[in-house]
Chain A
Amino acid sequence: MKASKKPGGLTRRQFMAAGAMAGAAWATGCSSKHGSWESLSDDHAQTLAVLCDEIVPADDFPSASQAGVLIYIDHQLARHYRRFRKTYARGLEQTESISESQFRLHLTQASAEQRLDVVHALVQQNPAFFELVRKHTLEGYYGSPRHGGNRDAVSWRMLGVSEPPIRGRAQYDLTNKARS
């Protein structure tokens, strides 16, 4: 595959569908520069997904992008994190240029080892941006599902935290014993 070829974009709708599937091998199709994301371009969303999935990779529980973390970040970049939109745009461009210069590949086309190399290079070259993505990714993955990033409370189930919490537990509380 030629390094200069831009991969197909990924719309938000496709992304949500992709999240339900295992792995990051999503379908390509839509090529519009601005899909249905609120803040991100489709190209930037693809790059960001790679970063997010290095931060929370898939194992027997989903990766960050599979759990909807991009939806969380995209949504907040239009709201509470508006001030970071330019930081994201520049940082994601920088990530791509690292990939291009090291491997002559778009990040999404790079191998797993190459992706990790790119992320390590990014951590060296722009630690502030990587730290921002790390923070937002973990917030999305471990925070409330209402913001789009912890789909079906998957991280909470992973940690063994019930959702919804058991209500009215006072009536059934087994710890309600005399103090030792």
Chain B
Amino acid sequence: MGIEQKTGNLGVVTTTLQNVVNWSRTNSMWPMLFGLACCAIEMMGAQASNYDMSRFGMELMRPSPRQSDLMIVAGRVSRKMAPVLRQLYDQMPDPKWVIAMGDCASCSGIFNNYAVVQGVDEIVPVDVYIAGCPPRPEGLIHGIITLHEKVKQENLKKWK
């Protein structure tokens, strides 16, 4: 006899802890406000009323890494900026995820030179790459939904 029969129609739902926690993580993701170049303009567009990213539970862009769990690297990262980016990543509390938004963050895009990091995955572990130069707000939202799908698949034993 399961708990469903005991409780009748009191509105109790049974599920697993893994599902509940993963679901709650996806729907309250707080991205860090961190614009590096023109991709940041599209990131702002994704949050503004036209595209409204808060439909997916991320209306709060935190200006502090201590309060955020998603880093959207929006733009090219110069060699001089790289230690700063890594420090911000280290300051974010677990669990944390990284989205490389646009070609520059993914693979340095058009900037194949000495001054720009050839893909931000050299510095921080990236979960989702978004193509585009810059990607449209739909692209960013699609990347975030893709990340949500990834987070929902995370295993209880591998939680941090």
Q: Are both chains from one complex?
A: no
Identify the A interface with B (CB < 8 A): none
